[in-house]
Structure 1
Amino acid sequence: MKLEEKNLTTDIGVSESILRELLHNSSDVVFRRLPLEGQTILFIYVEGLCDTNLVEQIILKPFFDQVFLGSGSLLKETVNQLNQLILPVLKVTTATKAEQVVKGILTGHVAILAEGDSEAQLADFNHYQERSVEEPSTEPVVRGPRDGFTESLRVNTSLIRKRLCTPQLVNKSFQVGEKTGTKVEILYLQGVAKASIVEEVTRRISEIQIDGVLESGYIEELIEDTPFTPFPQIQNTERPDVVCAALLEGKVAIVTANTPFVLIVPMTFWSGLQASEDYYERSFFTTLVRWVRYFMLLMALLLPSVYVALTTFHPQILPTVLLISIAAAREGVPFPAVMEALLMEFMFEALREAGVRLPKAIGSAVSIVGALVIGQSAVEAGIISAPMVIVVATTGIASFGIPRYNLGTALRILRFPMLLLAGFIGIYGILIGLTAILIHLSCLRSFGVPYLTPVTPETTGYVKDLIFRAPRWSLLNRHKIRSRSNDKQNL
């Protein structure tokens, strides 16, 4: 018999047997019988998911006080008294199917069954060990809010609602994962977010068929437009203020239980280069920082490739003094410049990965000491030239300046094919690679929105918050998400 076809019965022993079978007699599931004047009431809950102290204070102690110290009423009246005790305090639902009872028990509810009654009362006593609200470690700021999302879905939505105190903030709930039943909620501002984008997000999440969702990254991979691209099409963040700013721009937030990372759609290329602190500092400083950030983007992608192309194919472009200095440093190096660059890039990525995986107490020390020792030793041994060490280190520092980690990862991936193109055909290879990247970016969509919006298609007036950050009093228009006419058909 299928799970959903099993109903509770008036015989409490039969109902208990059905539930024990469906729960596979798990050792952490408590079945507690309370005999009352020849009748029985059964309490079922999972240890660790329920607050047992709260169960005793709200249900058991008052229940015994009223039943044994009171009138000694019949069982049906006893059940009514029980409802009167817990209804004013907790959220209580009624279930008749065994599937509903099992799901309730596994989500932190206490199931209450009474002899002669085919219905079960599910009282919400869920109590999970939760991390307190802390400053996000992946998105630190000098000036700005210090609170960050946690693994609790309800805490995360409350942090958003605390900032957006408006009934226009709509919350839609889903349950994703056949085995995990992970709660996923989408939030958007009614009248601000495009209806077509909200409908598309709802459709994609509703159509997910998967056994389990353990992190928002599962959702991201299943709903993105183009899986085979290094560029992120969905933004993730641990900061509530970033999510609220995105909602005010007409975007949609996807909050997943058991993870502090919230997804924001649609994402554009330029949003990956903007930090929340850009809107907390004065406009002159933010504009300067953005220009530095754009320059660091070019360095992170092109600096090793340009160095290889100039030293291998186009040395006449370099000043004579600089060329002589580089040639003297490369004297005795057994590898061509492109192999030298690839070797150093792989070593740098290995040190970066080691620093991330090792414990915090020694991770940073290993990465720094490893880079110094290996770099210095390689130069002294004549395996690597000193200018190449400088170029690779500068490139690594530039990649750390990208505010969004996933966009920085895309640049790290593209750096290697750009190096190969520069090593084979020089500057022409770099131009071919850049053209291919621009064509690819122009073709990308994030939920129907062109990836390079508002540059292409051009949106008049939004350059105020793109090339530079104009003073806030001049930003009179809300950022609007534009999609081409044929995108609506694709949605």
Structure 2
Amino acid sequence: MKNTGQRTRAKHGGSSKLGSSLKDNLDKLKTDLHNSSDLEIRPIGSQLAPEVPMTAVYIGELTDETTLNEYILRPLMSTILRTEARNEKLVHIILERVVEVGAAYITTDIDECIQRLLDGYCLLLVQGAACGLLIHISNMEGRQVSEPTAETVLRGPQQSFNENIGTNINLVRQIIRSPSLHIDSLQVGSETRTQVALLYLDDVAEPEIVNTIRSRIEALQISSVLESGYIESLIQDRIYTPFPTMKNTERPDAIAGGILEGQIAIMVDGSPFVLLAPVTLFQLFHTPEDYYNRFDIASFLRLIRFTAFFISMTLPALYIAVTTFHQEMLPTTLLITLAAQREGIPFPGLVEALLMELTFEVLREAGVRMPRAIGPAISIVGALVLGQAAVEAGIVSAGMVMVVSFTAICNFVIPQLNIAISARLIRFTFMLLAGVFGFIGIVSGILTVLIHLAGLESFGMPYMSPIAPFDWSKMKDNFIRAPMKYLLKQKAGNVINRRSKQE
């Protein structure tokens, strides 16, 4: 990680410590902050030491001026204390007896003062004291806790993370009220200095995985981190793979459930999506609602998701292969119907499918980018109008429109957006293979994907676990969800095994 302190020290002649001169300290702060217009420098006359100049320094847009006036300036200017203390002793007296804000501490490092000013702190400087008092009065604007928008459920908590990392940690602590919940704080980005937090249970998470994630984050050399996707793409095991090796979610209950099972949550300040690692392919199809419903309902819904994932990858390719190379596999009546529909279509099946798939992808992207009030209407109306017009114009067949539409619907069934996007990418590859080689191309593509999946790992955990390597004891919560009493016994046994290994 780039060292901001070294660069800052170079600006003011190599000194990174506050001096005893109030004027020199203020000049250093102004220089390092480039005389920013929102930098507030407020001289203070205090009855605590009337003859000693004091100054409060803060950035106006980042601080709560009501807190500043009520709990710092007013007590400081109204407190009368007979003392001969000067320099650092006076700063300690102000910290212990005057300031009424809990988060305050003394520092001598000017680089830390600059960073804390940018975090919304107030810096109190005293003439003759080679230190400063940093007081937390941040007023960072943020979105309130609201309902999830990307991962909605019919049953379960209706809370989602927001962009404030402190609020997100609090939401997890409200669920996991255990002293074993450990939080590691890191800073990433030489310019943004973004706060990143690792959350895990000390006696449940694997220490090797925790150390691996921490070391990878600490080793990052990047100037900015604007979203958790930066961290995800930089610390994952494999870069050239369409499959995500980390899970992201905006639901606190999903993160809490993963932490209780030994996973590590990675929170990034400014992002409402929290990362969870390590994960397997099958965990990406699980939702928190699976554990709130009856086991038979949850198992049925999981099987639907896995089936929809397979259909979304292969259905257009199967249609192309059957209509182009393997017509003998269709019943005679269906074959005649499809042949009648394709009569007059100027394009082969592959071009027809690619044309419709690309059209639906454009409509999908337009629905996301359009204003929220009209986006869904535009995407739905556009799909209906374009599909009907294409059929009537003889550009595509009605059967192809149905296949592409059902494929798109199956893609929406997948709960994780990143694995759904993977299916969309693989779909085009399968379509090209089917258009050239027929069923042989599709089977070859499926085998290639399976081989690739078998070689993936998520921070040392096999991506296809518990299928490869096979573990029958973990199959109770994989494709189906066993009744809760059996599931809890299995999870309790896993926790005991992890704790015994650590001991």
**Shorter-chain TM-score range:** over 0.9
Structure 1, unaligned runs of 5 or more? 482-491
Q: Partners of 2:96 and 2:151 in 1: how far apart?
A: 48
Supply the distance in 2 between the matched residues of 1:71 and 1:5 (Cα, whole angstroms). Answer: 35
Which residue does 2:228 correspond to in 1?
Answer: 216
- What is the DSSP-based 3-state SS (H/G/I as helix, E as strand, rest coil) of the residue aligned with 2:386? helix
Aligned to 1:486: none
Deviation at 1:82, TM superposition (A): 2.5
CA contact (8 A) 1:62 1:85 kept: no
Of 335, 349, 354, the match for 2:361: 349
Q: For residue 5 of structure 1, what is the aligned residue in structure 2?
A: 15
Q: Once structures 1 and 2 are overlaid, which stretch shifts more, 162-171 or 135-144?
A: 162-171
User: After alignment, is 4-13 or 222-231 more displaced?
Assistant: 4-13
- Which of 237-246 and 9-18 deviates more? 9-18
1:141 aligns with 2:153: yes
The 8 Å contact of residues 193 and 252 in structure 1, kept in 2 or not, is answered as yes
| Corresponding residue to 1:45 among 58, 62, 67 | 58
The alpha-carbon deviation at position 250 of structure 1 amounts to: 0.9
Kindly report which structure 2 residues correspond to 1:328-347, keeping only aligned pairs within 5 A, or say none.
Answer: 328-347=340-359
Structure 2 counterpart of 1:62, one-letter code:
P
Q: Give the match for residue 24 of structure 1.
A: 34
Q: What are the residue-to-residue correspondences of 1:130-209 with 2, within 5 Å?
A: 130-209=142-221
Greater mean alpha carbon deviation, residues 269-278 or residues 86-95: 86-95
Is 1:276 aligned with 2:288? yes
Moved more, 329-338 or 188-197: 188-197
Contact map agreement 2:456 2:463 (CA 8 A) in 1: yes
1:426 aligns with 2:438: yes
Distance in 1 (alpha carbons) for counterparts of 2:305 and 2:434: 24
d(CA) in 1 for partners of 2:61 and 2:239? 39
Deviations 1:427-470 (A, max 9, x none): 11100000000000000111011110011101122221122111
- Residue matched to 2:44: 34
| Counterpart Cα distance in 1 of 2:91 and 2:180 | 41
RMSD between aligned residues = 1.7
- The Cα shift of 1:88 comes to 5.2
Task: Kindly report which structure 2 residues correspond to 1:348-367, keeping only aligned pairs within 5 A, or say none.
Answer: 348-367=360-379
Residue of structure 1 equivalent to 2:501: none
Q: How does 1:58-457 map to 2 (within 5 A)?
A: 58-67=71-80, 79=91, 81-87=93-99, 89-457=101-469
What amino acid is the match of 1:52? Answer: E
- Structure 1 pair 84/416, CA: closer, same or farther in 2 (3 Å)? same
Greater shift, 221-230 or 87-96, is seen at 87-96
Identify the range of structure 1 (139-148 vs 121-130) with the bigger mean alpha-carbon deviation. 121-130
Cα deviation code 1:214-238 (max 9, x no counterpart): 1000000100011111100110000
- TM-score, normalization by structure 1: 0.95
Shift of 1:84: 3.2
Identity %: 41
Please give the alpha-carbon distance, in whole angstroms, between the structure 1 residues aligned to 2:125 and 2:36: 19
Show the counterpart of 1:473. Answer: 485
Alignment CA distance shift 1:253-1:80 (3 Å) = closer
Aligned 8 A contact 2:263 2:278 in 1: yes
Are the counterparts in 1 of residues 266 and 276 from structure 2 also a CA contact under 8 Å? yes
* AA partner of residue 468 (structure 1): I
Tell whether 2:38 aligns with 1:15: no
Q: Give the aligned residue type for 1:427.
A: F
Q: Distance in 2 between matches of 1:371 and 1:480?
A: 48
Deviation at 1:35, TM superposition (A): 4.1
Question: Shift of residue 73 of structure 1?
Answer: 7.3
User: What is the distance in 2 between the residues matched to 1:448 and 1:71?
Assistant: 64
Q: Work out whether residues 250 and 480 of structure 1, in 8 Å CA contact, stay in contact via their aligned partners in 2.
A: no
8 Å contact kept, 2:101–2:136: no
**AA of the residue aligned to 1:151:** E
Q: 8 Å contact 2:79–2:98 — kept in the other structure?
A: no
How far 1:39 sits from its partner (Å)? 3.0
Deviation at 1:107, TM superposition (A): 1.0
Cα distance in 1 for residues equivalent to 2:392 and 2:356: 15
Which sits farther off after the overlay, 4-13 or 451-460?
Answer: 4-13
The aligned amino acid for 2:356 is: M
Q: State the secondary structure of the residue aligned to 2:347.
A: coil
**Residue from 456, 460, 463 that aligns with 2:475:** 463
Gaps of at least 5 residues in structure 2 are 1-8, 496-503
Task: Say whether the 8 Å CA contact 2:172–2:252 is kept in structure 1.
Answer: yes
Instruction: Report how far residue 97 of structure 1 moved.
Output: 2.3
Structure 1 residues 94, 159: closer, same or farther in 2, change over 3 A? same
Assess if the C-alpha contact under 8 Å between 1:63 and 1:85 holds in 2. no
Distance in structure 2 (CA, Å) of the matches to 1:65 and 1:123 = 18
Q: Tell me which amino acid in the other structure corresponds to 1:42.
A: T
Summarize the Cα distance change of 1:234–1:86 in structure 2 as closer, same or farther, 3 Å threshold.
Answer: farther
CA distances 1:95-120 after superposition (whole Å, capped 9, x unpaired): 21221211121111111111111111
Task: Find the residue that maps to 2:166 and give its secondary structure.
Answer: helix
Separation of aligned partners in 2, 1:86 and 1:246: 44
Q: TM-score, normalised by structure 2?
A: 0.92
Aligned counterpart, 1:489: none
User: In 1, distance between residues paired with 2:91 and 2:197?
Assistant: 35
Residue 360 of structure 2 aligns to a residue in which SS?
helix
Shift of 1:85: 4.2
Q: Which residue of 1 aligns with 2:499?
A: none
Q: Measure, in 2, the Cα distance between the counterparts of 1:65 and 1:38.
A: 15
* 8 Å contact kept, 2:161–2:251: yes
Is the contact made by 1:283 and 1:469 (CA closer than 8 Å) also made in structure 2?
yes
Secondary structure class of the residue paired with 1:39 = coil
Q: What SS does structure 1 have at the residue aligned with 2:37?
A: coil
Shift of 1:480: 5.0
2: distance between equivalents of 1:86 and 1:19? 25
Does structure 2 conserve the Cα–Cα contact (< 8 Å) formed by 1:49 and 1:126?
A: yes
Q: Which amino acid aligns with 1:204?
A: R
Are the counterparts in 2 of residues 333 and 383 from structure 1 also a CA contact under 8 Å?
Answer: yes
Aligned-pair CA distance for 1:83: 2.1
- Please give the alpha-carbon distance, in whole angstroms, between the structure 2 residues aligned to 1:86 and 1:450: 57
For the residues of structure 1 that align with 2:150 and 2:221, how far apart are their CA atoms? 30
